[in-house]
């Protein structure tokens, strides 16, 4: 049945009361594949909030790489995790701005009508790790809108109350929906996991991508010097605008990428290019980097371990090109380097990071805003590496530019290449 999107910006019920059904972009196991086909519009029942849960009316949703993986059904099927077996569908979307519509039993901090953004970490309050260690260490920890259904590519989303943060008032709905997942991840990687210091030197892979645009800004805010790796000049110019000292076009060093299965001679050749890249990094930063910001994985990891300074840190949160990493471990142990894993952020880190957005010290970097019909297309652009910075989707917001309550700088527009 075709889903009518003509009334998307209108809800028949007042805050406090839920309509029976909603339009949602749904992924199902039988149509895993390219995002453009895997996402389909369906009319779905609106869930009721359980204890300490909140139903948020989504005004805008942010697009992330995790739902490219969800659409592909790779490297794992999300349907095996979280509440998916209970509902049998995946409504993706791990970033949202919106309005609290209904609160469940026990919720006291938020009322219907509050304007919020949502961070994407969920964990059961019954897990002891949540109360003394870190929610990211809890056995129940999950990423909302990826490992759970009821994400933000729908008119309403179901979240835990602890996921809510006040919406930065100077941002529009689409700006406010664009940054959470990648920015909060980059914040934990650099601030908490690496304890970045003023004067540090940092090498950032994919510096014009979702994580990278925030890693670059965080380096500037911390007084650190960043060199960003990108794949063209336009992305390089964006990265410089965001505060990087310089950029490197990775196409000049294509031979350093690890493919796996190289012969010893090919490996020798690859290492030559890695050395040339390392030299360029030292020239641009004045020394080897104290920190390498990693998420590319297999292709770049041997270079990251080689290039980071003795006693330096390679911090990694993904393996986009492959997650079986191999590298010459002598460069790790003899130079006493560290590899640090990192995954999203806890609620307190998100709150502190969000305050930097509120103050304008860190700004969203928005490339495109699409209508609700553009969810599949947006994920396909990301899969094909055709984007810069972030893409937002309008859901309840009738048009771009709405939702700003006070004047402020707003988002940086990544218009080059658009």
Ligand X SMILES: NC(=O)c1ccc[n+]([C@@H]2O[C@H](COP(=O)([O-])OP(=O)(O)OC[C@H]3O[C@@H](n4cnc5c(N)ncnc54)[C@H](OP(=O)(O)O)[C@@H]3O)[C@@H](O)[C@H]2O)c1
Contacts to ligand X by CB under 6 A:
64-66, 181-182, 185, 205-206, 208-212, 229-231, 235, 250, 295-296, 299-300, 317-318, 320-321, 343-344, 382, 385
CB of 43 to ligand X, least distance (A): 29
Of the pair 376, 403, the CB lying nearest ligand X is at 376
CA–CA gap between residue 133 and residue 142 (Å, rounded): 16
Sign of CA dihedral 388, 352, 92, 19: negative
| CA end-to-end distance (rounded Å), the chain | 34
CB of 257 to ligand X, least distance (A): 6
Of the pair 230, 308, the CB lying nearest ligand X is at 230
Q: How many residues does the chain have?
A: 418
Three-state secondary-structure class, residue 392: strand
Of the pair 8, 159, the CB lying nearest ligand X is at 159
Of the pair 18, 315, the CB lying nearest ligand X is at 315
Of the pair 164, 256, the CB lying nearest ligand X is at 256
CA–CA gap between residue 352 and residue 362 (Å, rounded): 12
Q: Phi/psi of residue 306, each to 5°?
A: -70, -40
Pairing of the two strands 390-394 and 365-370: parallel
In 10 A of CB 169, how many CB atoms? 14
CB of 244 to ligand X, least distance (A): 13
* Shortest-Cβ-distance residue relative to ligand X: 209
Could you tell me the CA-to-CA distances from 225 to 27, 63, 204, 297 in Å, in that order?
Answer: 41, 28, 10, 23
CB of 292 to ligand X, least distance (A): 12
Nearest to 271 by CA among 284, 289, 258: 258
Of the pair 197, 385, the CB lying nearest ligand X is at 385
CB of 211 to ligand X, least distance (A): 4
Of the pair 101, 344, the CB lying nearest ligand X is at 344
- Residue in this structure with the two tokens 């699409």, named with its chain if needed: 370
Of the pair 254, 398, the CB lying nearest ligand X is at 254
CB of 253 to ligand X, least distance (A): 10
CB of 69 to ligand X, least distance (A): 6
Residue 13 CA neighbour count, 13 Å, CB half: 17
Could you tell me the CA-to-CA distances from 183 to 135, 226, 357, 415 in Å, in that order?
Answer: 18, 16, 10, 20
CB of 46 to ligand X, least distance (A): 28
């Amino acid at each position: 049945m075709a889903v009518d999107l003509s009334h998307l910006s209108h809800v028949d019920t007042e805050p406090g009361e839920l309509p029976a059904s909603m339009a949602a972009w749904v992924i199902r196991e039988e149509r895993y594949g390219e995002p453009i086909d895997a996402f389909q519009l369906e009319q779905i029942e609106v869930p009721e909030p359980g204890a300490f849960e909140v139903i948020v009316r989504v005004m805008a949703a942010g697009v992330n790489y995790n739902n490219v993986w969800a659409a592909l059904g790779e490297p794992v099927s999300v349907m095996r995790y979280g509440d998916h077996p209970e509902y049998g569908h995946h409504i993706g979307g791990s970033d949202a701005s919106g309005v609290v519509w209904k609160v469940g039993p026990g919720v006291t901090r938020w009322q219907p009508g509050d304007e919020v953004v949502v961070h994407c970490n969920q964990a059961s309050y019954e897990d002891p790790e949540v109360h003394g260690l870190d929610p990211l260490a809890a056995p129940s920890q999950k990423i909302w809108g990826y490992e759970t259904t009821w994400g933000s590519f729908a008119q309403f989303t179901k979240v835990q109350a602890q996921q809510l943060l006040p919406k930065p008032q100077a941002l529009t709905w689409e700006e406010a929906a664009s940054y959470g997942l990648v920015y909060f991840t980059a914040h934990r990687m650099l601030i908490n996991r690496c304890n970045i210091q003023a004067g540090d030197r940092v090498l950032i892979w994919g510096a014009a991508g979702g994580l990278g645009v925030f890693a670059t800004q965080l380096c500037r805010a911390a007084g650190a010097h960043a060199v960003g790796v990108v794949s063209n000049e336009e992305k390089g110019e964006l990265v410089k605008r965001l505060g990087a000292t310089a950029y490197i076009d990775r196409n000049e060093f294509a031979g350093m990428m690890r493919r796996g299965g190289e012969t010893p001679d090919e490996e020798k050749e690859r290492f030559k290019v890695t050395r040339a890249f390392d030299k360029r990094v030292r020239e641009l930063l004045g020394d080897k980097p104290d920190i390498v910001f990693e998420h590319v994985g297999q292709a770049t990891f041997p270079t990251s371990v080689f290039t980071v300074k003795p006693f330096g840190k390679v911090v990694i949160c993904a393996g986009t090109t492959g997650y079986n990493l191999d590298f010459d471990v002598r460069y790790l142990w003899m130079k006493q380097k560290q590899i640090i894993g990192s995954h999203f952020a806890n609620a307190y880190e998100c709150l502190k990071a969000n305050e930097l957005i509120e103050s304008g010290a860190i700004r969203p970097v928005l490339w495109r805003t699409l209508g609700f019909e553009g969810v599949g297309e947006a994920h396909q652009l990301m899969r094909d590496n055709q984007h810069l910075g972030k893409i937002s989707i309008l859901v309840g917001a009738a048009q771009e530019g709405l939702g700003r309550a006070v004047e402020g700088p707003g988002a940086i527009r990544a218009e080059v290449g658009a």
